[in-house]
């Protein structure tokens, strides 16, 4: 997540698969929730996150050899799971960074001849802050929670859609570079998409979901009242998946992640979901943000719980998620 220090009053952190995989069931109200038979595998979540947050990648700072290794890893993941490049290759070169840097962008075309002209965007940033400048025992900011956890979730969703073919709309999967440098990857990409006449339905960006909150909902959404996305996600999952976190509004997190350039450019519901609530993780932008502290069973259940929501986003016959009036 883009630097939060200046927002805080103190130094907060010291630091089967076929179409039968998706079935609808009537909820208590007139709305419908979705039941998913596809199962996210905990071992795959663990393996993916472990490599992306490993010392080998040296903290994935944009423009370094470490993030280049991460880019290759993500490209190979897309290839293995039959997610096609959106551009000529998976690499979308940033237009606003001094050295070569790339978003990694893949697409699965929708199955409906009309709805496939619309896109949902599932995204997370794969960059982090790299190496510490001062000499110390541990110099690598591994960024397991920020935001290798979000990248892992988006990757698992890509695998799910690739296997189930349950997306009537097209789905753009984006791993952003340059987020920690000022949302550079998303700012660069939206200009290209806008120039293409890209038809965006909604964006769901995933930020820091490596540890659970001690609340009566699974996650919060940024810009809670800017659209009906929170309510629709809960409707689609049939659970209290999304809640309102007052600190999100207080610290204006809606403006601090890669959802905001999309919102500004397309004026569509574009929001981030997170479980980092300023109480449950002490190592934001810290060398201790490491794989060993991530709750893999929780992350697996988080991804599983969101599958009905992203499925409905990608398949509803009309635009059910709308901006607030």
pLDDT by residue (tens digit) across 80-122? 999 999 999 999 999 999 999 999 999 999 999 999 999 999 9
Q: Is the peptide bond before 113 cis (omega within 30 degrees of 0)?
A: no
Closest CA to 36 of 153, 149, 161: 161
**Is 211 in contact with 297 (CB distance < 8 Å)?**
no
- Do the Cβ atoms of 81 and 162 come closer than 8 Å? yes
- Taking the CB of residue 279, how many other CB atoms lie within 10 A of it? 10
**Among residues 1, 43, 27, 5, which one has the least CA distance to residue 300?**
43
Q: Is 190 left (phi over 0), alpha (psi -120 to 50) or beta?
A: alpha
Residue 39 burial (CB count, 10 A): 13
What pLDDT does 50 receive?
98
Q: How confident is the model over 277-282, as a mean pLDDT? A: 96
Report in angstroms the alpha-carbon separations of 321 from 117, 204, 230, 235, 302.
17, 11, 9, 11, 21
pLDDT mean over 233-260: 97
CB atoms within 10 A of CB 174: 26
Query: CA–CA separation, 40 vs 36, rounded Å?
Result: 10
The predicted pLDDT at position 27 comes to 35
Q: What is the pTM of this model?
A: 0.92
CB 148 within 8 A of CB 49: yes
Q: Which of 272, 304, 262, 1 is closest to 159 using CA atoms?
A: 304
Q: Rounded to an integer, what distance in angstroms lies between the CA atom of residue 55 and that of residue 286?
A: 14
Domains in the chain (CATH in brackets) are 39-214+255-313 (3.40.630.10)
* 16-31 confidence digits (pLDDT tens): 333 335 544 433 333 5
Is pLDDT larger for residue 240 or for residue 325? 240
Residue 159 and residue 93 in contact, taking contact as beta carbons nearer than 8 Å: no
Listed in order, strand segments (DSSP E) in 110-210 are: 119-125, 170-176, 200-206
From the number of C-beta atoms within 10 Å of its C-beta (0-12, 13-18, 19+), residue 239 rates as: middle
Q: What pLDDT score was predicted for residue 30?
A: 38
């Amino acid at each position: 997540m883009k630097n939060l220090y200046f927002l805080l009053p103190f130094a907060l952190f010291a630091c089967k698969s076929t179409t039968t995989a998706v079935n609808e069931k009537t909820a208590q109200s007139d709305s419908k929730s979705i039941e998913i038979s596809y199962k996210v595998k905990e071992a795959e979540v663990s393996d993916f996150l472990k490599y992306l947050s490993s010392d080998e990648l040296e903290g994935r700072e944009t423009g370094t050899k470490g993030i280049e290794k991460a880019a290759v890893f993500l490209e190979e993941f897309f290839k293995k799971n039959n997610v096609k490049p959106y551009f000529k290759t998976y690499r979308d070169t940033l237009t606003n960074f001094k050295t070569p840097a790339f978003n990694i962008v893949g697409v699965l075309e929708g199955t409906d001849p009309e709805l496939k002209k619309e896109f949902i965007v599932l995204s997370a940033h794969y960059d982090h802050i790299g190496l510490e400048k001062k000499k110390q025992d541990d110099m690598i900011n591994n960024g397991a929670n920020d935001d290798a956890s979000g990248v892992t979730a988006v990757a698992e969703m890509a695998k799910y859609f690739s296997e189930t073919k349950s997306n009537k709309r097209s789905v753009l999967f984006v791993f952003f570079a340059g987020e920690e440098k000022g949302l550079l990857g998303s700012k660069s990409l939206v200009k290209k998409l806008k120039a293409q006449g890209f038809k965006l339905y909604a964006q769901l960006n995933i930020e820091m979901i490596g540890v659970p909150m001690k609340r009566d909902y699974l996650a919060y959404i940024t810009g809670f009242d800017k659209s009906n996305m929170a309510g629709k996600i809960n409707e689609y999952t049939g659970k209290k998946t999304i809640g309102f976190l007052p600190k999100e509004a207080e610290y204006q997190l809606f403006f601090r992640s890669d959802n905001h350039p999309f919102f500004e450019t397309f004026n569509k519901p574009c929001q981030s979901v997170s479980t980092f609530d300023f109480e449950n993780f002490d190592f934001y932008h810290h060398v201790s943000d490491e794989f060993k502290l991530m709750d893999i069973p929780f992350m697996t259940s988080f991804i599983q719980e969101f599958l009905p929501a992203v499925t409905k986003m990608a398949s509803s016959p009309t635009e059910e998620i709308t901006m607030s009036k």
